[in-house]
Amino acid sequence: MTYSDGTRVVHAGLPEAEVGDPFLPGPVFAAPYHLDPVAGQVGDNGYGRPDNPTRRRLESAIGELEGGPALTFASGQAAITALLLSVLRTGDTVALPSDGYYTVRSFAESTLRDLGVQSILVPTAGPYPDFSGVRLVLLETPANPGLDVCDIREVSARAHAAGALVAVDNTTATPLGQNPLALGADLVVASGTKALTGHSDVLLGYVSTNDPELLAKIETWRKHTGAVPGAFDAWLAHRSIATLDLRLARQSQNAAAVAALLSGRDDVTGVRWPGLSSDPSYPVASAQMRRIPGVVSFDLGDAQRVARFLAAAELVFAATSFGGVHTTADRRAQWGDDTGPGFVRLSCGIEDTVDLLADLRAALDQA
């Protein structure tokens, strides 16, 4: 039977019911496990780095939601590093989003370049180059922090025609917002630190693919480097996924209301939210995504006005992550993003919409 998103996230990755056991067994904290002293058999678990039942249950849950087997990592950056270093070799070229997560570009300009891998930067909204000679095309859609959206199916078809692999960073959308593997991508990579787990209390990353050869390469890389999440982090993440549908629903509702509020103010410019019918990304986002995430971007002109806005707001925390249950705002230029000094990425939490709007309105008036 096919279930809806709310049901899927509640039951994803749970083991078969056993009398007396919890729905989601607690984390298994183990480095070694008992072995058969005669035959040397290890069963399902031999050593904690490659084997942990808590981590496997989480990977099963994420795989169900993304539509392909998943491997989890200690952070989103660990996951994307594993993908890049597993796929790319000296002499290869990788196409990266020019407006995506800045640490990926920094990694390409340092580590990948030192390894002899060339990178080209492509805007998420295009125009796109000829991908001939490119080994991997990495998309991030919606892009963080500018929220441009690209047509995954179209770009994947163009890349595949040129012989390139396609990976999609699904951090902002989450697997309940879109399923890149079903749209033609070869791999999905994401930070589970953000909306997937949503409580701002765990670092996590994952890669998902239906290609067994790619999955095996990435799993071997993880085994050799040890970039695994801890058992408690894996358990926390699995527990949190159960409320993903509910959290996203409120966050998206809040984002729609916030975007409408900001769009109606003369003292706010550059409002972006792909769910706005006036947004440049709306045509693609409305056709490709099942729901629009709770992130809105806008510009207040300068750093001083952003500071006054954040000081006046009572419900908005200044923080550099996003996707959590608390509304947060980040002036991205302070971290080196190629944005204006007054550019703000606002991540809507799950506060009551009326309260959040009143707080934003008052803070903007004071700023």
Q: Strands 343-347 and 295-299, how do they pair?
A: antiparallel
Q: Give whole-number Cα distances, 51 to 75, 104, 191, in Å.
A: 18, 28, 21
- Give the separation between CA 253 and CA 18, rounded to whole angstroms: 38
Residue type, 128: Y
**Which neighbouring-strand residues pair with 94?**
119, 136
Q: What is the pTM of this model?
A: 0.96
pLDDT tens digits in sequence order for the chain, 367 residues long = 889 999 999 999 999 999 999 999 999 999 999 888 887 677 889 899 999 999 999 999 999 999 999 999 999 999 999 999 999 999 999 999 999 999 999 999 999 999 999 999 999 999 999 999 999 999 999 999 999 999 999 999 999 999 999 999 999 999 999 999 999 999 999 999 999 999 999 999 999 999 999 999 999 999 999 999 999 999 999 999 999 999 999 999 999 999 999 999 999 999 999 999 999 999 999 999 999 999 999 999 999 999 999 999 999 999 999 999 999 999 998 988 889 999 999 999 999 999 999 999 999 999 9
Phi, psi of 356 (to 5 degrees): -65, -45
Tokens representing 336? 């080196």
Domains of the chain with CATH codes: 5-241 (3.40.640.10), 245-366 (3.90.1150.10)
Tokens representing 99? 């407006």
Sheet containing 93-97, strands listed edge to edge, beginning at the edge strand earlier in sequence: 70-73, 205-209, 187-191, 165-169, 136-140, 93-97, 118-122
